[in-house]
Amino acid sequence: MDHQLIVGLEVHVQLLTQSKLFSGCINRFNPDEPNSQTDPVTLGLPGTLPVLNRRAVDLSIRTGLALNCEIAPFTRWDRKQYYYPDLPKAYQISQYDLPIAADGWLEFVADEETGERRRVRLIRAHLEEDAGKNLHDDSGRGGESRVDLNRCGTPLLEIVTQPDLRSAADSRKFLEELRLLLSYLEVSDCNMQEGSLRCDANVNLKVTTDDGHEVATPIAEIKNLNSFRGVEAAIEYEEQRQLEEWQRTGLKMGDVGGEKETRGWDADRGITFSQRGKEEAADYRYFPDPDLPPLTVSAEWLEEVRATLCEPPADRRERLQAAWALSAYDASVIIDRGRRLADYFEEVARLCGDGKQAANWVTQEVLRIMNDRGIEIGDFPISAPVLGTLLERIVSDAITVRSARTVFADLLEQAEGSQPVTVDDVDRVIDAKGLRKVEDTGQLEAAADAVLARNAKIADDVRGGKTNAVGPLIGQVMKEVRGADARAVRELLLKKING
Amino acid sequence: MSLTRASTDELLQLLDSREVSAVEVATAFLDEIEARDEQIGAFLTVDRDGALTAARTADERRAAGESAGLLGGIPVAVKDLVCTRGLRTTCASRMLENFVPPYDAHVVRRLRDEGAVLLGKVNLDEFAMGSSTETSAFRRTVNPWNSEHSPGGSSGGSAAAIAAGLAPLSIGSDTGGSIRQPASFCGVVGLKPTYGRVSRYGLVAFASSLDQLGPLSRDVSGSARLLQVIAGHDPQDATCLNVPVPDWTGQLEQPLEGLKIGVVAEQFADGLDDEVAAAVRAAVEVYRGLGATVEEIELPHARHSVATYYLIAPCEASSNLARYDGVHYGHRAEQFDDMVDMYAASRGEAFGSEVKRRIMLGTWALSSGYYEAYYLKALKVRRLIRQDFDDAFRRVDLIAGPVTPTTAFRTGELTGDPLAMYLADIYTSIANLAGIPGISIPAGISQAGLPIGLQLLAPSLEEDRLLRAARMYERETNWHTRWPASL
């Protein structure tokens, strides 16, 4: 007996709009002040009406285009009806049979070493309003349940994949690539902890029996996975559970008792658990919302949005390797940290003309400081033009890498003192500290001769084979000629001693 | 002349000439309500303080030489299905018995902006579901012409208030005839505008694709003026049309030249009361006498209008009323076992039987397996009805006909037979399905002393034509000047 894991994902993405999908009410994550981000429309008060936030459609189209989808020229809004306390209208405005985007795909890198990409087909992406949140008393003392409607009405794009994923690790990698793309598109902040990116996984197995028959196990939909680790672990767990269940019961998809099941993920215990009885298939009584006119997406609108697209991170990762001779690792470190850092890197690389040098500085110095301070590149005190100029001085051999570190530290200090750092500060600091490499060989020669004359004993030792003894002499020369390159001084001294 | 017998134009004249103050006008109506509404039953909430404050503001504006607005100091009664900030809005339902909206409906904002004096909130069928105001959870409204008869509905309070001289103007809503039918029963003018002409923001939804707010008044001019105030684009209602609002009041007295009136023969067949038929025919003759030509037309799908209406409206209603679940506001049962039981008990206790009937009809018709056969088919018939009107209005300018098959029925006469009550919407619901404007104007009194209405229908956005044609008839007749004998 053999088996193959089959996974399809439903990914819910909260869109970064100023206001909610159908009202002017502010849209922001704010769990500390429940029900403060509401208005009569959000509360579903009698007499209120929805009005579409076109910005949310812009962001949905942008996402759809980046996911290689067809964008619907004509779509509409449907009411999905069910009773739940976090849904004050008792219906969710969604898109039932005419999603804004359909038939797309996204590739993810399945193998870091070889760069092998795998393609996951996307069935659809539709726009809908998020529900609020029910907060239950977890103490077990039967306290009151409460409802927070801050989240209610937030624009939510639901992206549904074909069941193209074949392992838990792939599922995680796909989701990470999707998250990265969405953050590059600046359509969502994709924070899984805060719920702006949520994932449900549809999981089952294709079992090949010993006599060569292929059968499918019942599908389980695992709800509300709120971390990448959780996605991978839940699918891994479910694969084992379904395999054991199959071996125990032989229950197949389509059998009585083999209907699709909704399961939750208990991250603490590392198990999935049955949430909703299989027989309770809901009838949502979808029908077109009479409060909202259908939506026509004109060719002009589509082109307007297309102009806001950016290079997808997967392509950019490959391009950085090719254009700037980066390792796959360095390219990933830069790309994965987000579009603004990639922009920063590329500007630095262009200005200094050396991708490797730029990558070293960005992935080491810049990222280290960003991580230490917990800031993003937009708040980093040394701009790309400044760093690019500084690195150009290394590349053009005007200063040493070591001197550049000194200048960098100095510029950071200047920024601490709330003095904005400009490009001009680079050369000013180099000169003030006398770090510019001395190109006047005459001055160096004179200094070397003087130092050798004072240290004939050491020169003899060196000549006798103790090459390392030249060290103190280098220091003396450099003391006399500030900005001299140590390696050049060493060579000069050795040449003079050894004739 | 008694202030409460005056028309809107007469009141404005008295106010503008400073012969009377807005406070005096408001006080006259408030006192009349206090004295006589116990018997009429039009009002659910009377806002004496709010009305007097608004009246004082209108007086102050006039005293300061400022414009007091298009309705400066004119009292208006508002159907209790329209949200008023800080003032209880019950929809005549136990469900919202204590609901106080934190916001004003768009029309209420417009009324306040134009200096209107809101007297209070008037009775209706629960959530506007009914044709007699008998499904109100709170009180019975009588027909001021005969207290044993219904004022019609669902805007029964709006029509009765005007017929009884308790308000010169009122706001009603019309989903299948709920402005025009009570206007007809009570002998007043009632207009349902083109769908999208007036913002629905703040109108508690019954059937979203059919609901439309409109004016009721003693005469055509009053409705023209009230429509002038409430019509126009509102960005808070995505179905509200962004089209210019013509100067209806300014053009009202200009007669229409070469008017072509269509009459639907089928409307005069079985089921139409003889006296009503005769009054409508006489009205058509009045137009002929004014130079209009009259042409028989057909609306081939109109016979399906009630069936179509009673699928679409309950489907939308079942969805619109789902929010009343006792969780966030409104009635919540005190005794329940679990969450589902809380929903069931709260809704079971607070909704009346007609509302429940329509919620069940709509829920069933939208269910998986029935949706295509009922809701989708109804939408297709609706398109055919629209097409009928498009064809008809290529030949004629207006369609004249009855508003209702009979004059006001007796209270209780039809409550045991919902289907008979539904069938009485036959002439009015077609306008809602087609989205076109319609008006009911007084056109006779039956031998039993009950008013008879004439309905005029016009193409979309042709309220101007509708009002001017209505005014042409009104000038030739005096039905609108009659008062019930009991007054």
Q: DSSP labels for A279-348?
A: T-------EE-TTS--EE--HHHHHHHHTT----HHHHHHHHHHHH---HHHHHHHHHT-HHHHHHHHHH
Torsion over CA: A16, A18, A20, A26 (sign): positive
Here the CATH number for the domain that contains residue B147 is 3.90.1300.10
Alpha-carbon dihedral A394, A398, A401, A404, rounded to 10 degrees: -90
In terms of residue numbers, what domain contains A115? 7-202+275-300
Question: How many angstroms separate the CA atoms of B316 and B313, rounded?
Answer: 5
Between residues B106 and A498, which one has the greater pLDDT? B106
CB B117 within 8 A of CB B55: yes
* Together in a domain, A422 and A445: no
* Together in a domain, A370 and A453: no
Domain-embedded: residue A270: no
Number of A:B CB contacts under 8 A? 95
Domain-embedded: residue B114: yes
Torsion over CA: B52, B56, B59, B61 (sign): negative
Domain-embedded: residue B358: no
Domain-embedded: residue B443: no
Give me the interface pTM, i.e. the ipTM.
0.96
Domain-embedded: residue A210: no
* Together in a domain, A416 and A445: no
Domain-embedded: residue A244: no
For B415-426, the pLDDT digits (tens) are 888 888 888 899
User: What mean pLDDT do residues A409-436 have?
Assistant: 90
Q: Do B201 and A91 touch (CB under 8 A)?
A: no
Domain-embedded: residue B457: no
- pLDDT score for A107: 96
- List % helix, strand, coil for chain A (3-state, nearest 5): 40, 20, 40
In terms of residue numbers, what domain contains B241? 3-258+465-481
Structure-token match 């979203």, residue found:
B208
Nearest chain A residue to B366 by CA: give it.
A285
* Together in a domain, A193 and A334: no
Q: How far is B143 from chain A (nearest CA, A)?
A: 28
Cα B193 from chain centre: 10
For A391-408, the pLDDT digits (tens) are 999 999 899 999 999 999
* Together in a domain, A156 and A24: yes
pLDDT cut 70: percent of chain A above it: 97
Question: How many angstroms separate the CA atoms of B138 and A194, rounded?
Answer: 47
Lowest mean pLDDT among A313-327, A476-490, B349-363, B456-470: A476-490
Q: What is the DSSP string of A449-460?
A: HHHHHHTHHHHH
Q: Last residue of some domain: A432, A457, A475? A: A432
- pLDDT score for A460: 83
* Together in a domain, A98 and A31: yes
Is residue A440 over pLDDT 80?
Answer: no
Domain-embedded: residue A238: no
Which amino acid type is present at position B131? Answer: S
Domain-embedded: residue B421: no
Domain-embedded: residue B265: no
- Of residues B21, B79, B158, B429, which has the active-site annotation? B79
DSSP 8-state secondary structure symbol assigned to residue B218: S
Chain A residues with CB under 8 Å of B375 CB are 287
For B120-129, the pLDDT digits (tens) are 999 999 999 9
Is B154 marked active-site? yes
* Together in a domain, A348 and A477: no
* Count of structural domains, chain B: 1
Domain-embedded: residue B121: yes
CB B151 within 8 A of CB B182: yes
Interface test with B, best of A41, A285, A289, A296 (most B CBs within 10 A): A285
For B384-427, the pLDDT digits (tens) are 999 999 999 999 999 999 999 999 999 999 888 888 888 889 99
Chain B residues with CB under 8 Å of A46 CB are 83, 89, 91, 96, 99, 101, 204-205, 323-324
CB B231 within 8 A of CB B244: no
Question: How many angstroms separate the CA atoms of A120 and B97, rounded?
Answer: 54
Is residue A197 over pLDDT 90?
Answer: yes
Q: Last residue of some domain: A384, A401, A432? A: A432
* Together in a domain, A190 and A150: yes
Domain-embedded: residue A165: yes
Which amino acid type is present at position B166? Answer: L
Chain A residues with CB under 8 Å of B209 CB are 290
- pLDDT score for B313: 98
Is residue B134 over pLDDT 80?
Answer: yes
Domain-embedded: residue A64: yes
**Binning pLDDT at 50, 70 and 90, where does residue A337 land?**
very high
**What value does the mean pLDDT of chain A take?**
92
- Which residues, listed in sequence order, are joined to residue A111 by a DSSP beta bridge? A116
* Together in a domain, A42 and A159: yes
Nearest chain B residue to A87 by CA: give it.
B323
Domain-embedded: residue B405: no
> Which positions in chain A have a beta carbon within 8 angstroms of at least one beta carbon in chain B?
40, 43-52, 79, 81, 83, 85, 88-91, 147, 283, 285, 287, 290-293
* Together in a domain, A120 and A92: yes
For B230-269, the pLDDT digits (tens) are 999 999 999 999 999 999 999 999 999 999 999 999 999 8
**Binning pLDDT at 50, 70 and 90, where does residue A439 land?**
low
Question: How many angstroms separate the CA atoms of A470 and A492, rounded?
Answer: 11
* Together in a domain, A179 and A55: yes
CB within 8 A of B18, min separation 6: which ones?
Answer: B62
SS3 letters for A334-397?
A: HHHCCHHHHHHHHHHHHHHCCHHHHHHHHHHHHHHHHHHHCCCHHHCCCCHHHHHHHHHHHHCC
Q: Last residue of some domain: A265, A300, A335? A: A300
* Count of structural domains, chain A: 3
* Together in a domain, A287 and A389: no
**Binning pLDDT at 50, 70 and 90, where does residue A281 land?**
low
Is B93 marked active-site? no
For A44-61, the pLDDT digits (tens) are 999 999 999 999 999 999
Q: Which of A495, A430, A426 is nearest to A459 (CA)?
A: A495
Query: Within chain A, what is the greatest distance between any pair of CA atoms?
Result: 100
Is residue A135 over pLDDT 80?
Answer: yes
CB B236 within 8 A of CB B267: no
- pLDDT score for A451: 86
* B205 touching A (Cβ < 8 Å): yes
Interface test with A, best of B328, B375, B380 (most A CBs within 10 A): B328
Domain-embedded: residue A219: no
